[in-house]
Structure 1
């Protein structure tokens, strides 16, 4: 039988994925590397945070996992895709969006998760956690900028066979 914590965890994992068709294939593929990188960074941060007892996850779906897979594979991953789709190209818009959404996520949603017993900050203040997530957002924007730059440079170079044939003359 599903209890309240189980329903909330399933919602955090499944509901964001229902919005993926609205992202579009092109945007999904374009921002997939940065969303994957974001999940890697958050996963590493979570493992460190658990060891340092900065916060505690009591996720009922993956109770033995060292990271909160429902949040990382659900809301965080899809949220990253959406934020980049809607704001990439305007760093100011991106930063303001992340500042606001991270604040809502940590101070409002985090408070709710604490009440239901899923997530609790222990040796880390909400303000510190918020600062870390905002700094991560800036790093992610830089990561995506580099990816876009490399793709543009790669697409502007002539194919290898053309370069080789030109060198013969």
Structure 2
């Protein structure tokens, strides 16, 4: 999962990677905190792990989520409505059919939250990430006008 996601990253182009990587890493860090909380509160359970010392969420965070965030930003940044729509679609797919599939494959299962709550939890971060990227873009504009 991680490898396949990362194989797509060179096709983004170096400028897009530089532009959007900090926002994607920021939200990945937020996801790692959320994964810790979710594990403690038993929102979900992972049946399979790469390593006993590594959270089961890590391959999802560093793989499809990080690469997907970069791609969604590249394709939709500056078009907020389109960005939100694309994020909503991806999060609905993740919260419903993929969560059902991953439960059947015994990868993970939701325990104390329902799919719609999982969707809202994931979708809320789209706004946070867009806001963070907007702040970065504003600061860059200020720096560019100074030089």
For Structure 1 versus Structure 2, the TM-score category normalised by the shorter chain is over 0.9
1:28-58 alpha-carbon deviations (Å, 9 max, x no partner)? 0100001101100110001000000010122
1:97 lines up with 2:97 in the alignment: no
Deviation at 1:67, TM superposition (A): 5.1
1:140 pairs with one of 120, 129, 133: 129
Residue 54 of structure 1 contacts residue 123 of structure 1 at CA under 8 Å; is this kept in 2?
A: yes
Three-state SS of the structure 2 residue aligned to 1:120 is strand
1:64 partner SS: coil
TM-score normalised by L of structure 2: 0.96
CA distance in 2, matches of 1:104, 1:157: 44
Instruction: For residue 70 of structure 1, give the secondary structure of its aligned residue in structure 2.
Output: helix
> Quick one: which of 106, 109, 112 aligns to 2:101?
112
* 1:23 paired residue number: 12
1:73-88 equivalent positions in 2, closer than 5 A? 73-88=62-77
Q: CA deviation at 1:95?
A: 0.3
Give the SS at the match of 1:142: helix
- Could you tell me how far apart the structure 2 residues matched to 1:117 and 1:69 are? 16
The 5-angstrom pairing of residues 62-73 of structure 1 reads 62-66=51-55, 68-73=57-62
3-state secondary structure, aligned to 2:50: coil
C-alpha change, 1:71 and 1:62, in structure 2 (3 Å) is: farther
Greater length-normalized contact order (CA 8 Å, ≥ 6 residues apart): 2
Any gaps of 5 or more consecutive residues in structure 2?
none
Listed as ranges, the gaps of 5+ residues in structure 1 are 1-11, 159-169
CA distance in structure 2 between the partners assigned to 1:54 and 1:86 by the alignment: 32
> The residue matched to 2:8 in structure 1 has which SS?
helix
Given that 2:49 and 2:56 are in contact with CA atoms closer than 8 Å, whether structure 1 keeps it comes out as no
TM norm structure 1: 0.84
**Which structure: larger Rg?**
1
Contact 2:44–2:108 (CA under 8 A) maintained in structure 1: yes
Between the aligned partners of 1:78 and 1:62, the Cα distance in structure 2 is 22
1:151 maps onto 2:146 in alignment:
no
* Number of equivalenced pairs: 147
